[in-house]
Amino acid sequence: MVRPMDKSLPEMTTAILDAYGWTEGDLAKRVGVSQPHVNRLKKGRVWRPSFQVGTAITALYRERPGSSDAEASTDAPDEP
């Protein structure tokens, strides 16, 4: 069952960057977008992200270290 998210896309993006210690460029490589696009996501300037970007951000948010949504593993996914 998929639960609705309690965080906005900018909040999730910032939480991912903080949790993994990644740069915007690192996250961009993982999600398949440019670094400026990640910056716009973080600042709430992307009104209609693609399904693929939204899904990738949501998955990384749920798997981030220190998250109650994370499974047993607290390791970051493989480096970009």
Question: pLDDT (tens digit, 9 = 90+) per residue, 11-35?
Answer: 999 999 999 999 999 999 999 999 9
Q: Does a structural domain hold residue 59?
A: yes
- Count of domains observed in the chain: 1
Count, residues in the chain: 80
In the three-class reduction of DSSP (H, G, I as helix; E, B as strand; rest coil), residue 52 is classed as helix
Model confidence, pTM: 0.76
Q: Does a structural domain hold residue 40?
A: yes
Q: How far is it, in rounded angstroms, from Cα 61 to Cα 36? A: 19
Q: Does a structural domain hold residue 72?
A: no
Res 77 pLDDT > 80 = no
Q: Does a structural domain hold residue 4?
A: no
- Token pair for residue 80? 């970009």
**Residue of 22, 28, 25 lying closest to 57 (CA atoms):** 28
Torsion 14-64-58-7 (CA) sign: negative
Residue 47's CATH number: 1.10.260
Q: Does a structural domain hold residue 70?
A: no
Range of the domain at 55: 9-63
